[in-house]
Amino acid sequence: MTIACPYRIGSGHDTHRLEPGRPLILGGIRIDHPRGLAGHSDADVVLHALTDAMLGAAGLGDIGEAYPDDDPQWANADSTRFVLETRARLSRLGWSLVNVDVTIFAQEPKLGPVKARIRKSLAGLLELDEAQVNIKAKTGERVGHIGRAEAIACQVVVLLTRPVAATSDGLSAVAAAELGDRPVAQAP
């Protein structure tokens, strides 16, 4: 049975190792640091987790399915492309973002001074007001791979919405489009 719902929540996560010789890019912002994140693309954990959350909220799988790390076309790719393509895909399906909540886990560098720049970058990429984007930074308190400054991780939660208008048979236009020719289970 398909239930039309005007809201969907998605959660995304990503972690990458820090290593010398790579640029550190978080949320599309290049950050001055002697080490950057290792990965197939630019390894931007913020944009990867954001892409993952958007895909998940819409029921479209995950970033590994959409942009596999064994596909040469994504080698050294700018992760803003993943966000922009996913946002366009959601838009074609009628979804729009309500808000984004980002938590970055990094022992170093200290992210307080760059949180506003990351927020502005994400708001621009997503065509949202900055008030719809929240950025939090947490350390690992010197515990685990984050606390030992071996890696940076990110978790993102997004809320999507799309209009739901009831049709004469009680289905929303969205549910009717999703069902196509499949039979509808009626509620008792």
Which of the four pLDDT bands, split at 50, 70 and 90, describes residue 5? confident
Residue 181: predicted pLDDT: 40
Query: Count of alpha carbons within 13 Å of 57, Cβ hemisphere only?
Result: 35
> Which residue reads 């040469």 in tokens?
72
Mean pLDDT lowest for which of 59-63, 81-85, 142-146, 181-185? 181-185
- Residue 58 near residue 161, CB atoms below 8 Å: no
The answer as to whether 2 is a domain residue is: no
Sign of the torsion angle spanned by Cα atoms 43, 46, 51, 52: positive
Q: What predicted TM-score, i.e. pTM, was given to this entire model?
A: 0.86
Total of domains in the chain: 1
Residue 73: predicted pLDDT: 86
Nearest Cα neighbor of 149 from 7, 17, 12, 5 is: 17
Burial class from Cβ neighbours inside 10 Å (0-12, 13-18, 19+) for residue 183 reads exposed
- Domain housing 105: 7-186
The answer as to whether 109 is a domain residue is: yes
b vs e for 125-150, b when ≥16 Cβ sit within 10 Å of the residue's Cβ?
bbebeeebbebebeebeeeebbeebe
Mean pLDDT lowest for which of 67-71, 94-98, 181-185? 181-185
pLDDT in tens, 38-61: 999 999 999 999 999 999 999 999
> Is the per-residue pLDDT at 82 higher than 60?
yes
Task: Kindly report the backbone phi and psi dihedral angles of residue 79, in degrees, each rounded to the nearest multiple of 5, phi listed first.
Answer: -70, -10
Q: Which residues contact 2 (CB under 8 A, 6 or more apart)?
A: 175, 178, 179, 182, 184
The answer as to whether 92 is a domain residue is: yes
The residue with greater pLDDT, 1 or 47, is 47
The answer as to whether 79 is a domain residue is: yes
**Averaged pLDDT, 102-128:** 97
Residue 55: predicted pLDDT: 97
Residue 179: predicted pLDDT: 44
DSSP assignment string, 173-185: HHHHHHHTTSPPP
The mean of the pLDDT values for the chain is 89
The answer as to whether 161 is a domain residue is: yes
Report the share of the chain in percent with pLDDT over 90: 78
Residue 115: predicted pLDDT: 98
Angle at alpha carbon of residue 103, lines to 98 and 106, rounded to 5°: 155
- Residue 146 near residue 152, CB atoms below 8 Å: yes
CATH number of the domain within which 69 lies: 3.30.1330.50
Look up residue 14 and give its two tokens. 């990503």
The answer as to whether 1 is a domain residue is: no
